Structure 1
């Protein structure tokens, strides 16, 4: 082993010191990998059999490259599931993965809830209607940033069992859980013609000594319950054990790691930001890597499972100690690195953000109570995230070229081991393939690399790409094809990135985009080609082919290839900006490629574009080029908003006892939830004592009002509150604020329902001054948001809120709406999804400011740390959706 390590090191130094040799790769011995198939479960109906081999997944005997997005149905209003699924499909997702969270379905033992937002069967049926496969992640443990990882509290608190173990009682409970889940989805498995083709067993299970036995116990129980599916999976990192041949391990790669706080500082680049075969944090599989001629290969011939992923982070959650705002580059880099190292199932976590349901089981401790936006491609209230632009075009690439990519093995130059070198990789079968390059680190800069020219020795030829050395600039990442079959025409290579293919009237058009300051050139093999012409490019016929350069990227940049049989193949090179807004799909049986900054979906064979502006543009492609259309016939729905700063004790009345010393009230605080915080704020004109349940409590003066922490004496039940003054008829105004651990916020105000201690009513006083603002010591602000009349506006409305502070929670009445850790970006709040509740209740933002030093919290540079100690709302803007149906 030591000799092998020394060889790698010496070879790395040799290649790094020989200039262009760093970009050479000898692939003459590469070839097709022998395939061995895993015997997992029922492959399904004839002609649609799903099988997994040591490299990839097949359907109907042909390679497929699934693109899977995580969407937690319980974290979204069920009325909007279809909207999110349509957006997923429109952006290139063909498989939906979802956790089935036990604690949300059986919060009390024996009391199940599978209705409304918890209606698993309806969610799966919707996926089937939209032709989306489903990968159930049924636990029993999920993680998912919820308390106990989705195990119900009644299981966790059961002293007679040991959770996540081979404890017989625990396994019996798990067996019952699988039966309950199966009952909900019976008839919807792949073997029945349904969409469910995979089942995840447990999650991140790493207990030494029992990994294999426990996972096999769970799998066997799931099968006995009825889950006879083609694929059984597990998330797998931190431990090398797993039931080989029985369960497929799925990997996860997060470039942004909010669980690593690093004392508020930037975290260093992770191993996963480089081309490496390290699929897991423990280097599993590296003993299978071969090094020959300066090239690492991991051909999979001895591999027990293919390289599948389920948690590719293209967005990021926001945890208390780390609040990054991610950009689209993180998404593109992470996807490209995984493709370059051999991934054959791209699974994103999260793809659709959401909101945790209110309940006792949704607080994990490091993330917000409710907000699970994840800065995902589709965000908490349905808007498209920044990362969608890069994610979508790579999804289309995998949709179109993935089946041909899947059998291709990944090869890495050993020069990659020196991370100061340009990172690159090749996937090939020895004749065709793709070249992957990454000069991008998340949040860090790298050098520009000059004089870059790749030389690939293939089995029957050598290719030099591009013809002249180029500079690969900082933040670049791209993939280039070589020997790409374009409907019978061989593209020897191209220095632009492929996106997708459009077919209409017998003409196939291949879409590429130019990026990263490298000029586009194409070399087209002359075999099967009669002529090549170009609009916006220079074509030179030469021995064996046509060389195309001086390409002017844009929608009108078209290369037309006439084949010997007279049929045509076209090639369009888009700009990088246009590639961000490309949409690909099928409507009414026809292919379409469109460019629009609007969101685009296909619903019921109709193409629909949606934007926050009534004036929208769409460029639709036909074999003759793009046709621009403008849509501007909608009347703008003007809706304004604003906010009112609420004072302490807002809504409370000044009261006084009539000829007495006491005012009192009994409140019933009955709740299934524990109390998080209970505070009394009051003001009186004379000396006043306060008693809760007969115990006098210490009063804290905050200048214009007083405050008392009631939590030590507060009970879940009836509480007796009493003010006792030294003088008769002493005026007092007060408010009790109760925050429950399930997120509910209740207020008890002084009003006419209080008594004087002798069952006589108190007097309510008018015209007396209230404290204007919260004391600085409280670091608290409350803001009532003006909401437009949702009954008069037909379009979907959202609020865009800019605020300063630490933690903000939105309430509709006493009920939590969602919450947010301040990170400097705008907070989007969906209104229509809470239309009914907003008719009778106000929308309130409760914002807590930072207290003390924030040095151990990672925040973006534009966040005003000092200013955020005093909460404030800076702006509230109404955003409205406008939709057009395209004929």
Structure 2
């Protein structure tokens, strides 16, 4: 995770309150010059390791993009810390990430989790790196190992064990330290023997260190080079090696690739108020560390610094970890709106941190979380590393998961087209992240083909509507007006529109619908789009070869050599067909955005389909799994239509729908888990909050997490849940609706999970505890929240709290059953 607030620009040009008062603004015609002749990318100085698999597949790169088998490759990467998730759940979480469009899993190998005690390595059970790699291979997921030795990840001492720190200097070329690192790397190499790309395995790269900018003697680029030498000597001969590129990073040219990131908030910041508009919502033209207005502190990544390597990311925030002193609530749009910004800026590998939440394992000697007491800038929960990620610490899908999938599916299907394209900035740019008056957009193009990226969303800011929005794009073949007639762009919209898109020989001149995916069904390709809410939805085609267009909604117009299908329905799906005199045909499915968010790619009965469901979804080669919280009814539709009813774990009803869809439905027996909650101890008076030490980059100290004895003042409840998972359920969730400072759930003296109150209910998956018979003596503690506690809560939450005294309230505890239905995906 980013260590300091490089990604938050404190611009004082205009207050948020002033911006929020702006009325919708008329947009002048926007000009983007993309007319320069396309230049092919040149070779990079980066020297990859072994890049050819035993069956001849290759990985590579040039200055602009990665390659797979010599072709452009724009992969999607998601962070999953296997040692923070029970090994019994690894496979289904990998499958969920795959279902969401992720094709590379990034994973810290956290030294402290594997060698807390010197010479006692633990690669068993929930620490079994080799088994995790094997599961990635089984499901055709690449694996990028982040081997540290300093990882951060909100782990104590960045994951470097205490006993290593006791032996002398770390993170420099000290002989004692390097000898210990060599043993750690050698242990990783042994675990991954035979699992590397060159062996036919899934491991394609390694990140060395993290957030490293030391220029101390024995540090800097020389240290990174030494770490790479040790990694290779340990057997980790891989196509790619990388380091994080922010914080004035040490990046030895040719040896490692710099990777970048950014987060929607900064929970390490000392502020007790909403932060100003964040730079992650502004395009990064010529600067890979921060928005085009310049970086804060350290060395800026200027246009000349890293132009010899592709623009790739590893830590685009999928959420954020709440800290004790700062507890933002991240909405789905807060993270999804970053996608068009970064892709439009030229990113050619989108890496999300975290994609899968988790929890810290129990330490043998102490707890393992980062804390101010151990010299780090923040306090995080002892157990929970949920991160408000698209997949929660207990594997639940969040709203952001489906919004991410909208872009991930696009990259899976069309990333090879986007990767070679160059970014182009508009003629007028915002003057700062707080300048909301100027539309934020970019074009990426190759010749006349390309995509328009627009972001009219900024967290905690009221963006103005862009009235009469139209972009004039100068291309080598002439000027394109996108769209032909201006449209109004609502506040909060963000999207990606294609232009001059080749669709199996048919040309889409432009679309104000976002391209989603492509399926091959019934020997006819189907291109899938979705309408952007509250924007006129239309597709414009080149009128060539006696083109015939048929549509189930909207109006067809002919103008200037184009056939424009406009006014496509925003409330129902539209099916279009294109046919020409050469007997070619293409089908187009235009979905509502909501329907697209509920669409999943599946193979069923030997052919490709889209499966639409609001239920949680994942699948392997043989089985489709659906899960439903609280509701035992399952309903889904498939396109194209099925002719036979698939088999399932419960009886299925089939119904044919208009437009080539089939509906399947099933209803499971209802189950209500037994639950009883008893108050054992009234809360006492919480002690005053202590302030931690000031830091060089944060001169103001922040609230420090309470010491253990403070929990003697917590309210205490006994929870009785039963001692086994009820039949027919995949999980039971405790939904704890409370107000307080910190919540803790324990089995006797063993802490199961904890939560820094931020205003959202606390959702706790109980399957792990039920399977291990850890639910016979559940204890819930809630520490009172003092009104004078200097912690940040969202303003809407803070307003509900008393202005004086302290508060602790347990409004409800509910047991939510999670039902599961499976379908056989093969005949």
Picking from 359, 363, 373, the partner of 2:386 is: 373
Q: Alpha-carbon deviation of 1:779?
A: 4.8
Q: Which residue of 2 aligns with 1:870?
A: 807
Asked whether the equivalents of residues 245 and 304 of structure 1 are also in contact (C-alpha less than 8 Å), the reply is no
Q: Which residue of 2 aligns with 1:622?
A: 640
Q: Which residue of 1 aligns with 2:680?
A: 646
Q: Which residue of 2 aligns with 1:797?
A: 732
Q: Which residue of 1 aligns with 2:652?
A: none
Aligned counterparts, 1:175-254, within 5 A: 175-208=182-215, 210-239=219-248, 241-254=250-263
Aligned counterparts, 1:406-421, within 5 A: 406-418=419-431, 419=435, 420-421=437-438
Structure 2: stretches of 5+ with no match in the other structure: 1-24, 372-378, 642-657, 688-704
The answer to whether structure 1 residue 44 and structure 2 residue 57 are counterparts is no
Q: SS of the counterpart of 1:862? A: helix
- Give the whole-Å Cα distance in 2 for the aligned partners of 1:131 and 1:206: 35
Q: Which residue of 1 aligns with 2:139?
A: 130
- Give the whole-Å Cα distance in 2 for the aligned partners of 1:350 and 1:94: 15
Q: Which residue of 1 aligns with 2:177?
A: 170
Asked whether the equivalents of residues 316 and 375 of structure 1 are also in contact (C-alpha less than 8 Å), the reply is yes
Q: Which residue of 2 aligns with 1:269?
A: 277
Change beyond 3 A, Cα 1:788–1:505: same
Q: Alpha-carbon deviation of 1:579?
A: 2.1
- Give the whole-Å Cα distance in 2 for the aligned partners of 1:436 and 1:787: 49
Change beyond 3 A, Cα 1:201–1:319: same
Structure 1 residues 58-67 or 786-795, which shifts more?
Answer: 786-795
The answer to whether structure 1 residue 827 and structure 2 residue 797 are counterparts is no
Q: TM-score if structure 1 supplies the norm length? A: 0.80
Change beyond 3 A, Cα 1:882–1:856: closer
- What are the Cα deviations for residues 734-792 of structure 1, in whole angstroms up to 9, with x where unaligned? xxxxxxx99999xxxxxxxxxxxxxxxxxxxxxxxxxxxx9xx9752011112145254
Asked whether the equivalents of residues 195 and 203 of structure 2 are also in contact (C-alpha less than 8 Å), the reply is yes
- Give the whole-Å Cα distance in 2 for the aligned partners of 1:287 and 1:835: 53
Change beyond 3 A, Cα 1:53–1:243: same
Asked whether the equivalents of residues 743 and 815 of structure 1 are also in contact (C-alpha less than 8 Å), the reply is no
- Give the whole-Å Cα distance in 1 for the aligned partners of 2:757 and 2:546: 59
Change beyond 3 A, Cα 1:588–1:357: farther
Change beyond 3 A, Cα 1:565–1:178: same
- What are the Cα deviations for residues 43-89 of structure 1, in whole angstroms up to 9, with x where unaligned? 12254111121111111011111101100011011101111111101
Picking from 303, 317, 322, the partner of 2:326 is: 322
Q: Alpha-carbon deviation of 1:643?
A: 1.0
- Give the whole-Å Cα distance in 2 for the aligned partners of 1:112 and 1:553: 57
Q: SS of the counterpart of 1:861? A: helix
Q: Alpha-carbon deviation of 1:361?
A: 5.1
Change beyond 3 A, Cα 1:643–1:570: same
Q: Which residue of 2 aligns with 1:848?
A: 783
- Give the whole-Å Cα distance in 1 for the aligned partners of 2:279 and 2:794: 23
Q: SS of the counterpart of 2:98? A: helix
Picking from 141, 145, 153, the partner of 2:150 is: 141
Change beyond 3 A, Cα 1:879–1:72: same
- What are the Cα deviations for residues 828-856 of structure 1, in whole angstroms up to 9, with x where unaligned? 11112112444573111111111351354
Q: Alpha-carbon deviation of 1:272?
A: 2.1
Q: Which residue of 2 aligns with 1:602?
A: 619
- Give the whole-Å Cα distance in 1 for the aligned partners of 2:93 and 2:564: 44
- Give the whole-Å Cα distance in 2 for the aligned partners of 1:164 and 1:320: 28
The answer to whether structure 1 residue 512 and structure 2 residue 529 are counterparts is yes
The answer to whether structure 1 residue 384 and structure 2 residue 392 are counterparts is no
- Give the whole-Å Cα distance in 1 for the aligned partners of 2:461 and 2:598: 27
Q: Which residue of 2 aligns with 1:695?
A: none
- Give the whole-Å Cα distance in 1 for the aligned partners of 2:666 and 2:207: 47
Q: SS of the counterpart of 1:823? A: coil
Q: Alpha-carbon deviation of 1:19?
A: 8.5
Q: Alpha-carbon deviation of 1:240?
A: 5.1
Asked whether the equivalents of residues 560 and 571 of structure 1 are also in contact (C-alpha less than 8 Å), the reply is yes
The answer to whether structure 1 residue 353 and structure 2 residue 353 are counterparts is no
Q: Which residue of 2 aligns with 1:456?
A: 473
Q: Alpha-carbon deviation of 1:513?
A: 1.3
Q: Which residue of 1 aligns with 2:413?
A: 400
Q: How many residues align?
A: 738
Q: Alpha-carbon deviation of 1:531?
A: 1.1
The answer to whether structure 1 residue 523 and structure 2 residue 532 are counterparts is no
- Give the whole-Å Cα distance in 2 for the aligned partners of 1:333 and 1:507: 33
- Give the whole-Å Cα distance in 2 for the aligned partners of 1:628 and 1:811: 46
Change beyond 3 A, Cα 1:837–1:415: same
Picking from 109, 117, 121, the partner of 1:108 is: 117
Change beyond 3 A, Cα 1:476–1:351: same
- Give the whole-Å Cα distance in 1 for the aligned partners of 2:302 and 2:29: 24
The answer to whether structure 1 residue 479 and structure 2 residue 492 are counterparts is no
Q: SS of the counterpart of 2:355? A: coil
Q: SS of the counterpart of 1:387? A: helix
Q: Which residue of 1 aligns with 2:715?
A: 781
Change beyond 3 A, Cα 1:850–1:585: same
Q: Which residue of 2 aligns with 1:15?
A: none
Aligned counterparts, 1:761-776, within 5 A: none
Change beyond 3 A, Cα 1:556–1:808: closer
Q: Alpha-carbon deviation of 1:640?
A: 3.7
Structure 1: stretches of 5+ with no match in the other structure: 1-17, 290-299, 650-701, 708-740, 746-773
- Give the whole-Å Cα distance in 1 for the aligned partners of 2:548 and 2:61: 42
- What are the Cα deviations for residues 322-346 of structure 1, in whole angstroms up to 9, with x where unaligned? 1111111112211111111010001
The answer to whether structure 1 residue 636 and structure 2 residue 636 are counterparts is no
- What are the Cα deviations for residues 770-825 of structure 1, in whole angstroms up to 9, with x where unaligned? xxxx9xx9752011112145254341211111111101111012111010001111
- Give the whole-Å Cα distance in 1 for the aligned partners of 2:725 and 2:184: 42
Asked whether the equivalents of residues 103 and 151 of structure 1 are also in contact (C-alpha less than 8 Å), the reply is yes
- Give the whole-Å Cα distance in 1 for the aligned partners of 2:326 and 2:300: 32
Asked whether the equivalents of residues 22 and 415 of structure 1 are also in contact (C-alpha less than 8 Å), the reply is no
Q: Which residue of 1 aligns with 2:69?
A: 60
Asked whether the equivalents of residues 224 and 250 of structure 2 are also in contact (C-alpha less than 8 Å), the reply is no
Q: Alpha-carbon deviation of 1:417?
A: 3.3
Asked whether the equivalents of residues 185 and 231 of structure 2 are also in contact (C-alpha less than 8 Å), the reply is yes
Q: Which residue of 2 aligns with 1:657?
A: none
Q: Which residue of 2 aligns with 1:728?
A: none
Asked whether the equivalents of residues 104 and 361 of structure 1 are also in contact (C-alpha less than 8 Å), the reply is no
Change beyond 3 A, Cα 1:253–1:626: farther
Structure 1 residues 558-567 or 842-851, which shifts more?
Answer: 558-567
Q: Alpha-carbon deviation of 1:464?
A: 0.7
